[in-house]
């Protein structure tokens, strides 16, 4: 009998390959109907975690449950999960209809019902009437939609997707992101989505799980992960930011050559910190408020490139820090060696302990909830 999943829980799950650790100590709960993205660089453990949830990899230690039922040692075909991979995995010798019907055939669904359910699945992905086409006659986006239809046709309550849009060009990827999210909203199926694309995760997800070196760095909504990064890694990996090295002495934030920063003190132990700003907190013109405490910094342009409407410039700060900012191409000299004035909003500063000073390893969900209450942003 197949085991359905509307919620998924991992408890102290780890995966070892000989002396190598791919995933270590993952504690995680994915709620029914959520769209959750696992985000991280290559080798961070996100795909291995997904494979353990789907049953394609067995955990070395720990437990996986679906709605409270232990499935740790249950075969993948017994988990009733829809799976979509990056390479589509369509059978080239079968028609679209036959590809989509394959999971139903394996489950011995009668032919009359198969035809009806295939037609309904193709309508869901906006490919009605494509039953007799062969995969090689379809575009990349259409093939991916067929793969999604095949994953949905047997009506799973859990859909796992591993880099499903990685082979598509940027424009088509953006279209498919919205289509997949709209499909999720219509069906209410639980989705676990693996990606290394930060913008993709921010656009599509109810929550994001950020992985690094086999551990979870942070779990949160897109806004929490972007505006309230729990660690220096998350701040650097998810979105752009400009950071200054400083020291928190328990009373004030002090940066080399800049002195005391007019930024509210963080709820952190004394020690080295990074004070960072997201692009929306960086201005090129001074704020009109005469009493503004915004930090005025003169930066030197190192290199720059036109990015359509804005210029991406790599800059050097007086503290010796370097970073990338987006600046308007109108009225600003962004040639190498030029000086630009930056105004950094004091009320939007994010303060994090440096990588050397932060607690070791990843964090459990309880740790993350506690950590997000700490004063990282002024």
**Residue whose structure tokens are 């859990």:** 158
More confident of the two residues 257 and 337: 337
Name which of 247, 240, 253, 362 is nearest 307 in CA terms: 240
What's the mean pLDDT in 276-288? 81
pLDDT at 30 over 70: yes
Q: What is the DSSP string of 18-35?
A: TTEEEEEEEEEEE-TT-E
366 falls within a domain: no
Q: Are residues 210 and 253 in the same domain?
A: no
Q: Are residues 217 and 118 in the same domain?
A: yes
pLDDT in tens, 199-227: 999 999 999 999 999 999 999 999 999 99
What's the mean pLDDT in 306-321? 88
Q: Are residues 258 and 160 in the same domain?
A: no
**pLDDT band per the 50, 70, 90 thresholds, residue 168:** confident
Cα gap 37→191, rounded to integer Å: 8
Lowest-confidence range among 18-22, 171-175, 345-349? 171-175
Name which of 350, 351, 332 is nearest 341 in CA terms: 332
114 falls within a domain: yes
* Range(s) of the domain holding residue 178: 8-223
37 falls within a domain: yes
50 falls within a domain: yes
Q: Are residues 74 and 183 in the same domain?
A: yes
Q: Are residues 195 and 328 in the same domain?
A: no
pLDDT of residue 175: 85
Cα gap 273→246, rounded to integer Å: 5
Q: Are residues 76 and 131 in the same domain?
A: yes
The two tokens of residue 307 are 């990015």
Q: Are residues 156 and 109 in the same domain?
A: yes
Cα gap 89→250, rounded to integer Å: 56
45 falls within a domain: yes
pLDDT in tens, 340-354: 889 998 889 999 998
pLDDT of residue 2: 54
372 falls within a domain: no
- The answer to whether the CB of 359 falls within 8 A of the CB of 271 is no
pLDDT of residue 366: 40
Q: Are residues 202 and 247 in the same domain?
A: no
Instruction: For residue 302, give the CATH number of its domain.
Output: 2.40.50.100
Lowest-confidence range among 50-59, 206-215, 237-246? 237-246
303 falls within a domain: yes
Name which of 357, 156, 163 is nearest 273 in CA terms: 357
Q: Which of the 8 DSSP states describes residue 76?
A: G
pLDDT at 32 over 50: yes
pLDDT at 5 over 80: no
191 falls within a domain: yes
Lowest-confidence range among 42-46, 246-250, 265-269? 265-269
pLDDT of residue 86: 79
What's the CA dihedral at 326, 332, 337, 340 to 10 degrees?
-70
**Residue whose structure tokens are 């995969």:** 135
**pLDDT band per the 50, 70, 90 thresholds, residue 367:** very low
pLDDT at 133 over 60: yes
Q: Are residues 115 and 219 in the same domain?
A: yes
* Averaged pLDDT score across all residues of the chain: 87
- Report the domain count for the chain: 2
Q: Are residues 54 and 116 in the same domain?
A: yes
Q: What is the DSSP string of 200-230?
A: HHHHH-SEEEEEETTEEEEEE-HHHHHHS-S
pTM as predicted: 0.85
Instruction: For residue 130, give the CATH number of its domain.
Output: 3.40.50.300
- The answer to whether the CB of 169 falls within 8 A of the CB of 162 is no
């Amino acid at each position: 009998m197949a085991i359905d999943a509307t919620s998924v829980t991992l408890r102290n799950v780890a995966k070892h390959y000989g002396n190598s650790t791919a995933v270590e100590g993952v504690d995680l709960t994915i709620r029914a109907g959520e769209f959750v993205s696992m985000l991280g660089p290559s080798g961070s453990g996100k795909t291995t975690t997904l494979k353990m949830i789907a049953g394609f990899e067995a955990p070395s230690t720990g437990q996986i449950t679906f709605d409270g039922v232990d499935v740790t040692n249950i075969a993948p075909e017994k988990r009733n999960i829809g799976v979509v991979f990056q390479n589509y995995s369509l059978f080239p010798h079968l028609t679209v209809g036959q590809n989509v019907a394959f999971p139903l055939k394996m489950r011995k669904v009668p032919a009359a019902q198969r035809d009806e359910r295939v037609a309904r699945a193709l309508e869901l992905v906006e490919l009605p009437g494509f039953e007799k086409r062969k995969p090689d006659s379809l575009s990349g986006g259409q093939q991916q939609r067929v793969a999604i239809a095949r994953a949905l046709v047997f009506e799973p309550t859990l859909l796992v997707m591993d880099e499903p849009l990685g082979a598509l060009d940027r424009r088509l990827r953006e279209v498919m992101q919205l289509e997949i999210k709209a499909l999720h909203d219509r069906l209410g199926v639980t989705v676990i989505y693996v990606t290394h694309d930060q913008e993709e995760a921010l656009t599509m997800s109810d929550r994001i799980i950020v992985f690094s070196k086999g551990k979870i760095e942070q779990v949160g909504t897109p806004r929490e992960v972007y505006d309230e990064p729990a660690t220096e890694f998350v701040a650097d990996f998810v979105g752009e930011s400009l950071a200054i090295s400083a020291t928190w002495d328990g009373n004030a934030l002090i940066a080399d050559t800049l002195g005391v920063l007019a930024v509210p003190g963080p709820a952190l132990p004394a020690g080295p910190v990074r004070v960072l700003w997201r692009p929306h907190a960086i201005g090129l013109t001074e704020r009109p408020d005469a009493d503004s405490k915004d930090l005025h910094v003169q930066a030197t342009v190192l290199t720059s490139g036109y990015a359509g409407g804005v210029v991406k410039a790599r800059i050097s700060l007086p503290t010796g820090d370097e970073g990338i900012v987006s600046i308007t191409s109108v009225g600003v000299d962004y040639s190498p060696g030029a000086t630009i004035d930056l105004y950094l909003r004091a009320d939007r500063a994010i303060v994090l302990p440096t990588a050397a000073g932060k607690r070791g390893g990843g964090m459990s969900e309880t740790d993350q909830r506690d950590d997000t209450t700490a004063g990282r942003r002024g």
